[in-house]
Chains A and B, each alone.
Chain A
Amino acid sequence: MGKRIGTEVSLGVAEAARLANVDVVSAYPITPQTHIVEELSEYVANGHLDAEFIPVESEHSAMSAAVGAGAAGARVYTATAAQGLALMHEILFIASSMRLPMVMTVANRALSGPISIWNDHSDIMAEKDIGWVQLFVENGQEALDLTLAAFAIGEDHRVLLPVAVNMDGFILSHMIEPMVVPDQEEADAFLPAYEPAMRLDPKNPVTMGPVGMPEVYTEAKVQCEQALLGSKPVVKEVLDRFADQFGRRYELVEKNGKENAKALFLTMGALGETCMTAVDGLIKDGEDVGQVRLRLWRPFPEEEFLEACRGAERIIVIDRALSPGCINGPLAVDIKSLFYGRDDAPEIVNVIAGLGGRDVTTEDFREIYARASGGELDGGYTVWGVKSYA
């Protein structure tokens, strides 16, 4: 049986990577991801984890080494945030196009400038098209559980893609929470040894990551896209299997608040928990409101999301990233395009909140709800809490 401990979420995530028996950890420490890889380097140094720890000189190298190790058939883990993720940018596409499963925790952090170490989603929103399976977690237990599940998802031979587990920097990464940590036997039963579908092997030579001439590039892209689209049932299957074994159930899209509510908040990540509290309060006040939380973001769980939103007249999309010059925040762009041309399309209100670590409280959600209900937030998007005059 696993044990229930109080620990920092970052250390819980490191523990999940250890339980997964990773072969290679390739990482550069960057705030707020640092505690994860520091802990893993200690595990390797003191013999608690039989793995190679590659202390690279940059995130570009971290992802390059991860790709190389993955191609050699290793189970690979890395973690990053913000500028580090941006520095990995070009290699992120290579990991998915080479169909290399690996797990990366992104401790979501605002992108500079101005320089900010605090949380928002602008780092990963700039990486929405990398072809990775992308999950968003809401709390520490989920961060630990989905890190373990991410290996099972990516390594499934129907998927064979890298998986990013997004968790809000500081708000989650540096929080001390109670967490149930599975023991090694349980983890091993859930996650079998990695069997690569293809690897670099002198006895059976292959060229991985070749040039894609115009005759083949489109098809190679489609192969990768189809694998990502096809990963949705596998994610569901793995999470169901996780629930059966560990008793903690995670859905691709989750709902709370009133059934068939007229107004719905849509959140991703840790803001979901604050929003949940606000929604509970609003319902007590007699409001017809609910909430949809998106756990799987890529591939976008279209059917599950539409089902969760059925009957809603207004969706208040909370984006935690600003997309300057775009019509909406990045999440709202997804949602609006999903509803385009549908007869049941609700009104979609977009609020950009919590940039660069700005606190978003239950009071903020109540005010957003009140102003959205009064028709004050229509059209385009609203940057929440921006101070225009002193």
Chain B
Amino acid sequence: MSDKALTAWRDLALGAAITRPGSAADLKTGDWKTLRPKVDEEKCIKCALCGVYCPEFCISENEEGYWHSDPFYCKGCGICANECPKDAITMVLEEDD
């Protein structure tokens, strides 16, 4: 969805309806966050519980088998850090990273 289609009144669908299924995938929920999860790969056992519990479905496996969140969607809720059995995830301020 282009920026223009989201904001120009002439380009809105009738009654501001959403005409394309799954368009919420374009919404950058990641810019809500204050804290982001930081994974310590030394401690990580690749159990994927963080990905299972993530309410945003934004944690996926990378090529090395570690699990990381997608900053475009991660809202920084901290559930992954809470659920991690190895305390491998800490929530950090982005500017501290």
- List A residues at the B interface (Cβ < 8 Å): 97-100, 160, 197-198, 205-210, 212, 215-216, 218-220, 222-224, 226
Residues of A within 8 A of B9 (CB): 218-220, 222-223, 226
Among B8, B14, B16, which residue has its beta carbon within 8 angstroms of that of A197? B14
| Assembly CA distance A197 to B6 (angstroms) | 20
Residues of A within 8 A of B21 (CB): 205
Any A CB within 8 A of the CB of B62: no
**A130 CB to nearest chain B CB (Å):** 15
A216/B17 in contact, CB under 8 A: no
Any A CB within 8 A of the CB of B7: yes
**A346 CB to nearest chain B CB (Å):** 36
| Assembly CA distance A207 to B21 (angstroms) | 8
Interface size on B, residues (CB 8 A): 14
The A-B contact count (CB < 8 A) is 53
- List B residues at the A interface (Cβ < 8 Å): 6-10, 12-19, 21
**A194 CB to nearest chain B CB (Å):** 15
Q: Which of A98, A160, A216 has its CB near the most chain B CB atoms (within 10 A)?
A: A216
List 16 A-B residue pairs with CB atoms under 8 Å apart, sorted by A's residue number.
A97-B16, A98-B15, A98-B17, A197-B14, A198-B13, A198-B14, A198-B19, A206-B13, A207-B18, A208-B15, A209-B15, A216-B6, A216-B12, A222-B9, A223-B9, A224-B15
Known: A215-B6, A215-B7, A216-B7. A223 touches B17 (CB 8 A): no
Among B8, B14, B17, B19, which residue has its beta carbon within 8 angstroms of that of A219? B8
**A389 CB to nearest chain B CB (Å):** 55
A223/B6 in contact, CB under 8 A: no
| Assembly CA distance A219 to B12 (angstroms) | 8
**B94 CB to nearest chain A CB (Å):** 23
Among B6, B7, B15, which residue has its beta carbon within 8 angstroms of that of A198? B15
A207/B7 in contact, CB under 8 A: no
| Assembly CA distance A100 to B15 (angstroms) | 8
Residues of B within 8 A of A97 (CB): 15-16
| Assembly CA distance A8 to B10 (angstroms) | 45
